[in-house]
């Protein structure tokens, strides 16, 4: 495969394919791209500009819920783009109401605000928590606790909320009002709250991922989250869960919090909600719905087009009973990964995950990195994504088949053997 050739359909006036050199001339280099151009997809497979086929276990980074070119999405896109695609939130949008109703009926939420991405959804949750702190709790200098190794987005507020300094470097001054604690460590959380209280400030909210995705595919501990929920109830602290990566069936439940046996006060969704069409949502219980007209807004959020597509995702999840497939295929994938790990104890430290978000952690004392594995797998026809320098992430579409799981495991075995 030549890395200089991009999408054949993207031709200049002379009929010449667009090159990576020209691409980099005009597009900001904020991504480290792999040298392939994907031009077509169907189900759990994609093809590059030279016609080579790949098994897609990235799914747009846990986004393509129904894979590629799913008939339900194709129908929704086709019908809605020919009817009405955007009008703004100055008017009632029936599809937005229907989508909000489905989300409320399939979660613990009572209200929904729609935006365009996970970062925006988390930004909305932060604003909602701060307004609740000011107007209901009477806190003038609210603090939001988040976890080390977390990831909540790329806006200035959400990279501040993200407990990873590498994402914050050179973007100071950061947004005040955040404090970080170790993940799954209740004693550290209690100590942090006590420290903040002594400084005559107050914790207004705790923002956590049910499973840390970018932080290494680390599942939340059920007992920890239940104790956090109890603590929030006792102290009047809002519990916010970032479900951007783990929501919409990814864990084998509609929402990651279901695996933990709790309910949040506020939670967020994006990625899988639109199956690849940009949409995000901030969801909350009625008691903390303190937004009034003018408090928060989004020009594109919840427009007829994205809501029609998201509704097709939601209804297909339910009608096709995809949660059962996620649970079965997730168990199959983890069993296969553990079998490989048992054969390669010198390379692999641990296998962990829920449903169809799983991580393979490499040994810390060897030179092999997750990027090495990802590059090797690409050469063998399998797309994977790192979750840190030592964790390889497996997030295929929720429609993935048993045969495709077996094929991915076979490719992984060949890749690790070659490395």
The DSSP bridge partners found for residue 112 are 283
Which residue among 114, 271, 305, 390 is the active-site one?
Answer: 271
CB-based contact 265:240 (threshold 8 Å): yes
CB-based contact 58:358 (threshold 8 Å): no
- b/e 68-91 (16+ beta carbons within 10 angstroms → b): bebebbeebbeebeeeeeeeebee
Alpha-helical runs (H) found in 9-93: 20-26, 59-62, 71-81
Report the chain's terminal Cα–Cα distance, integer Å: 20
| Kind of pairing between the strands at 266-269 and 280-284 | antiparallel
Residue 271 a catalytic site member = yes
| Kind of pairing between the strands at 45-48 and 53-56 | antiparallel
DSSP state of 221: P
For residue 302, give the 3-state DSSP assignment: coil
- The two tokens of residue 193 are 């709250």
Say which residues have a Cβ less than 8 Å from residue 214's Cβ, sequence separation at least 6. Answer: 151, 164, 245, 387, 388
For residue 397, give the 3-state DSSP assignment: coil
- The two tokens of residue 318 are 């339910």
> What's the maximum distance between 2 C-alpha atoms anywhere in the chain?
70
CB-based contact 402:329 (threshold 8 Å): yes
- The two tokens of residue 370 are 């997750």
Cis bond before residue 173 (omega within 30° of 0): yes
Residue 151 a catalytic site member = yes
Which residue among 242, 291, 305, 394 is the active-site one?
Answer: 242
Among all residues, which ones are annotated catalytic? Answer: 151, 242, 271
């Amino acid at each position: 495969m030549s890395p200089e050739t991009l999408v054949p359909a993207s031709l200049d006036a002379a009929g010449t394919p667009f090159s990576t050199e020209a691409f980099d001339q005009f597009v900001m280099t904020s991504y480290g791209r792999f040298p392939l151009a994907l031009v077509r997809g169907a189900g759990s497979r994609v093809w590059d500009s030279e016609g080579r086929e790949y098994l897609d276990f990235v799914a747009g980074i846990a986004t393509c819920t129904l894979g590629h070119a799913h008939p339900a999405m194709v129908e929704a896109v086709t019908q809605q783009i020919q009817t009405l695609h955007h009008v703004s939130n100055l008017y009632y949008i029936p599809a937005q109401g229907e989508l909000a109703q489905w989300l409320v009926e399939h979660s613990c939420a009572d209200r929904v605000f729609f935006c365009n991405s996970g970062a925006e959804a988390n930004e909305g949750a932060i604003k909602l928590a701060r307004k609740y702190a000011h107007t209901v709790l009477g806190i003038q200098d609210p603090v939001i606790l988040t976890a080390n190794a977390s990831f909540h987005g790329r806006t200035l507020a959400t990279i501040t909320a993200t407990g990873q300094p590498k994402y914050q470097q050179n973007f100071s001054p950061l947004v005040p009002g955040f404090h970080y604690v170790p993940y799954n460590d209740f004693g550290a959380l209690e100590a942090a709250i006590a420290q903040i209280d002594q400084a005559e400030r107050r914790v207004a909210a705790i923002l956590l991922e049910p499973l840390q995705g970018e932080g290494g595919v680390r599942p939340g501990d059920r007992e920890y989250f239940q104790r956090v929920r109890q603590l929030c109830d006792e102290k009047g602290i809002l519990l916010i869960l970032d479900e951007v990566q783990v929501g919409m069936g990814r864990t084998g439940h509609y929402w990651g919090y279901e695996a933990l046996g709790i309910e949040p006060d506020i939670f967020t969704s994006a990625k899988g909600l639109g199956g690849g069409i940009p949409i995000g949502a901030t969801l909350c219980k009625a008691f903390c719905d303190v937004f009034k007209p003018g408090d928060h807004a989004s020009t594109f959020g919840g427009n007829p087009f994205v809501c029609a597509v998201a509704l097709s995702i939601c209804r297909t999840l339910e009608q096709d009973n995809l949660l059962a497939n996620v649970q079965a295929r997730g168990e199959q994938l983890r069993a296969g990964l553990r079998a490989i790990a048992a054969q390669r104890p010198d390379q692999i430290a641990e296998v962990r995950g829920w449903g169809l978000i799983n991580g393979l952690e490499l040994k810390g004392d060897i030179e092999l990195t997750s990027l090495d594995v990802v590059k090797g797998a690409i050469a063998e026809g399998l797309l994977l994504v790192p979750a840190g320098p030592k964790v390889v992430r497996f997030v295929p579409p929720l429609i993935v088949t048993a045969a495709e799981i077996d094929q991915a495991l076979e490719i992984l075995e060949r890749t690790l053997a070659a490395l």
